[in-house]
Amino acid sequence: MSPVTARVSARRTWYLQTNAVVAAWLAVLGVVVLAHQGIPVADWLMVHLLLLGAVSTAIIIWSQHFADTLVRRSALGGRRSLIIRLVGHTLGAILVIIGMIVNLFVVVLAGGVLVGAVAVLHAALLGRELRRAKPTRFGSLVRYYVAAAVSLLGGVCLGIWMANPGTGADLHARLYLAHIALNVLGWIGLTAVGTLLLLWPTVLRTRLGDGTDAAARTALPLLTAGVGVVAGASLAGVPLGVGAGALLYLLGLVPVVREAVRQARHAPPTTFAGWSLAASMAWLAFSVAALGVVVATAATPIDAVARLGWLVIPLLAGFSAQLLLGALSYLIPMVSGGGPQAGKAAAVELNRAPLFRLLVVNGGIVLYLLPVPSLVKVVLSLLVFGVMLSFLVLLVRAVVAGGRIRSRAGSAPVAGSAAVPAGGARSRRTRSGMAAGAVGALVLAVTVGVVLDPVTAGVGAASVTAQGTVASASGEVTEATVTMLDMRFAPSSLTVPAGNRLELTVTNGDTAVHDLTLASGLTSGRVAPGETVIIDAGITAASSEGWCSIAGHRQMGMVLQIIVTGSAETDAAADHSGSDATGLEVSAADDLGTQPEPSPGFEARDPSLLPASAETHHDYTFRVGDTQVEVAPGVTQTLWPFNGTAPGPTLRGKVGDTFTITLVNEATTGHSLDFHAGALAPDGPMRTIEPGETLEYAFTATRSGVWLYHCSTMPMSLHIANGMFGAVVIDPAGLDPVDREYLLVQSEFYLGPQGGIADSDKIAAAVPDLVVFNGYANQYQEQPLRAKVGERIRIWVLDAGPNLASSFHIVGGQFDTVYAEGEYLLRNGGSTGTGGSQTLGLAPAQGGFVELRFPEAGTYPFVTHAMTDAERGAAGQIMVVP
């Protein structure tokens, strides 16, 4: 093999191998699109597989290629440094994706740092290459790539910040807008403009004029300023600033578009590559304009994010994907080597059915943006994505076709540009056929979507609700934006004309996960903080309700009224209730007393309290899950307890001890922790974590007493009533020695159905079915506490609530020491030596202890002296023996 042949072969192998990484990202994206319903964070994943994966990888490869070409020298390290960047970026992107799927911020952080480091290295190497190169005519275009890499670094930092679980909804929305500016308009947009200034005339097979260099120098300052202003205004929460930044960016596109149009007049685009590049730039300009207008007219950043959901498709499919596929369709044949014939063979494959692909993709995006039913959007998106993904098939065919030509060649391959087949050679009949085929495919997609959901599409004379109300389809669409915030829907009511199709854009502006469930059964699914979903509610016929179906949220006011005007039953609200099904199922309270004794094998919770250890640091792991627990004979409830028991684990220590608790959420809804024994800002450690997440809560015990800990996720009353509480005992200094110590935690059960969760309506009314000590009604009647005559006994008592006070009393006993809320009310008989106390009174979340000696053997009942509560189960016995 001659040296020339070896160089060409090595060059071809290099570009095929590096671009295989791009193809791999696209292939993974195809799998995720097809299986997205069963994949966590699927929407986020599809966006980032394309942008962070395929597009960013292609940018790293080809920006280095064009920089080398423009300045006529290689970067420091040559291909080796590029391999390092590609490997680093790929590993970083994979880590970010894994971290988001498994919900581990530390993995996202590691991946983001790696991607950011690659961006810094990329910018530094390109900048060094530009500074050390001799002046060339278009060398200044490399500055676009340097500015783009700097933008990527900023976008990655914001992305990491967004992924932090402690980020609030408003801040998350502002970060999101700036993230788009830096990553899409900066990293991808600047690269695209800089590349197209050089690539566009090459694709058209026309010369680069003086106007290209002038356009490049004029556009870059405006474009970079636009990116910076949009990002800065987004972070500052200045909507009009975002509009101004978008206008700057559009002004930067003007000289570039003007020069591109001038060149196209001399040599119109005739290939898939040329048409796709032109379409991608049109969608970029449209998206920037839309971004500026939507954000500038939004009331808040959260509102802006909610209104921008539709823009994802134009930015992803219209701009980014078409840019990638158009550029690669031209570049792969150009760099594959093997002589003009091999390049032409590859180009022919990548240029198959160009007009059909162009019209299906762009026509599909336009139709998707129209107010069509959701199933029509689904079918259109699958069609568009399928046509785009056909690029992978054509790429394989191109590689095979080029290889076949090279293997047949009798002479050594010759490096050079591929002769891209001219579109003008195609007959008018062929183009007409492709156009007709594209229109037919789009019509078929719309038809399939309508057939799958004819009512929502307004096909047929009327819509009939579950209540029998009939409404004629008007053909009109009512669009409404609903925000979930502070356990409310805003607005709380919507007015819709009868017969209109209702489309709801739902944004979660809260810090907890919510959903919107409509009376028809349609649901948004779980919506994470900062996320936006669209619900096509179909034809409205009668007034109805929507609500959040997450336990307790409806009872706290998360109800949306949908008021239909102009129907025969305008005033008849739909009679539905949420997934809590409160009041619709038989309460387990009806089974109280039907079983006289606990189930076989029942063991009362050991109330003994061990002394504080000598350790000064205490580590615990609390796991939260949905656990069925017997709470009274014959009565079970699904609780959310810490480590499977209610109360949860008891912690004990001394003033100055430190505690670190790792909360692992293995339940089906969000939970949190609040330790009253620690004094600290609640923002971070007390935040709600979603299923699959973990949280570390550390505090130092600075004051003594018996302290409550509980879940503080709203509705807090429900979470506490459903078993999410426990005690922390911090010994007072100089605590007297005793013979035995016990801990009793009083709480309440508001019984839902057998095996169900607590009844939120009963909680709100503060009417419990059971009041218990240590999680089970009357358990110490069956298995009493033990003591001996003359022993000194200390009983710690904590009222966990959530609603009722406690008045702890031992029948036949007298307390000579009473300690409550950090202070002795009575100690060893007080100042007289003969003082005594009959009860320890505690409000919810208060605690203390009592001490006494039993004078003789016998059975001493203990109760809360709120006697109705004692009769509900807050009673037990102490067996005293000689």
How far apart, in whole angstroms, are the C-alpha atoms of residue 808 and residue 817?
13
How far apart, in whole angstroms, are the C-alpha atoms of residue 110 and residue 106?
6
Torsions phi, psi for 463 (to 5 deg): -115, 135
End-to-end CA distance of the chain: 105
Residue with tokens 């997205």: 36
Q: Is the dihedral of CA 550, 552, 556, 560 positive or negative?
A: positive
Running DSSP on this structure, what letter comes out for residue 745? E
710 is in an annotated binding site: yes
How far apart, in whole angstroms, are the C-alpha atoms of residue 725 and residue 708?
7
How far apart, in whole angstroms, are the C-alpha atoms of residue 357 and residue 158?
36
| One-character DSSP codes across 257-312 | HHHHHHHHHHS---SHHHHHHHHHHHHHHHHHHHHHHHHHT-SSHHHHHHHTGGGH
Print burial letters for 44-57: b (CB count within 10 Å at least 16), e (below 16).
ebbbbbbbbbbbbb
Per-residue H/E/C for 69-136: HHHCCCCCCHHHHHHHHHHHHHHHHHHHHHHHHHCCHHHHHHHHHHHHHHHHHHHHHHHHHHHHCCCC
Per the CB < 8 A criterion, the answer to whether 8 and 338 are in contact is yes
724 is in an annotated binding site: yes
676 is in an annotated binding site: yes
What the block records as the tokens of 171 is 């801040």
How far apart, in whole angstroms, are the C-alpha atoms of residue 90 and residue 499?
51
How far apart, in whole angstroms, are the C-alpha atoms of residue 327 and residue 338?
20
Residue with tokens 């003082």: 835
865 is in an annotated binding site: yes
Cα 416 to the center of its chain, rounded Å? 48
157 is in an annotated binding site: no
How far apart, in whole angstroms, are the C-alpha atoms of residue 293 and residue 314?
15
How far apart, in whole angstroms, are the C-alpha atoms of residue 710 and residue 697?
13
- Among 64, 213, 221, 189, smallest CA distance to 127 is for 64
How far apart, in whole angstroms, are the C-alpha atoms of residue 694 and residue 691?
9
How far apart, in whole angstroms, are the C-alpha atoms of residue 499 and residue 37?
31
Q: Which residues contact 32 (CB under 8 A, 6 or more apart)?
A: 39, 42, 45, 46, 49
Helix (H, G, I), strand (E, B) or coil at 194: helix
Print burial letters for 145-175: b (CB count within 10 Å at least 16), e (below 16).
bbbbbbbbbbbbbbbbbbbebebebebbbbb
What the block records as the tokens of 669 is 């809804």
Q: Does the bond joining 855 to the residue before it have cis omega, within 30 degrees of 0?
A: no
CA atoms within 13 A on the CB side of 191: 35
Cα 177 to the center of its chain, rounded Å? 15
Q: What's the one-letter identity of residue 742?
A: Y
Q: Which residues contact 44 (CB under 8 A, 6 or more apart)?
A: 100
272-296 vs 210-236: helix crossing angle, rounded to 10: 30
In this structure, how many other beta carbons lie within 10 angstroms of the beta carbon of residue 871?
Answer: 12
| One-character DSSP codes across 785-850 | EEEETT-EEEEEEEEEESS--EEEEETT--BSEEEETTEEEESTTGGGS---BS-EEE-TT-EEEE
- Among 247, 231, 248, 109, smallest CA distance to 174 is for 231
Total count of residues recorded for the chain: 882
Residue with tokens 């909680």: 763
Per the CB < 8 A criterion, the answer to whether 421 and 353 are in contact is no
Residue with tokens 């120098």: 217
Which residues does the annotation place in the binding site? 671, 676, 710-711, 719, 724, 865
Which residues does the annotation place in the binding site for Cu cation? 671, 676, 710-711, 719, 724, 865
